[in-house]
Amino acid sequence: MNETLLQRGIKGENAVIKALESEFGDKITILHKKTWGCDITAYINSNYNRELKIEVKSCKHYISDRKNGKKIIRLGRFYILPEQIPNTDFFAFVILGSNNQIFFVKKENLELFLKNRKQNAKRHPISIKQLRYLQPKTRLGDLL
């Protein structure tokens, strides 16, 4: 039986929440989430009390957002809007896949990343290896 779009959206939302919780452990609090899996705001409890907002997009949302000029990157089945972490030069990316991991990309690498993504968008999807190559040592501990 085929999944409905709503079921897939909820599945994606749960995967993001699971990824956030596995990455940040008890330091994270989910403040807000919409039912379609489109908008999740999470609060990271650290010395700086940072707030991290991650939007999960479906193909449907991608078309309308592209018209508005937003840069959205496709990772796996979902489109992720990169969000800069306040008071840092890092952007956060959530990868929905077998591992459901969060990666951080430095600001100076972001333009190169977006440029390469645009050139290869039709031929190759972004892989986890490419993100790891950009910032292999960047983990949560480096940010807090």
Q: What is the 3-state secondary structure (H, E, C) of the chain?
A: CCCCHHHHHHHHHHHHHHHHHHHHHHHEEEEEECCCCCCEEEEECCCCCEEEEEEEECHHHHHHHHHCCCCCEEECCEEEECEECCCCCEEEEEECCCCCEEEEEEHHHHHHHHHHHHHHCCCCCCCHHHHHHHCCCCCHHHHC
Structural domain count of the chain? 1
The domain of 130 spans 5-143
* pLDDT tens by residue, 37-56: 444 545 444 444 444 444 44
* pLDDT tens by residue, 55-105: 444 333 333 334 444 444 444 444 444 555 555 666 655 444 434 445 555
Prediction pTM value: 0.30
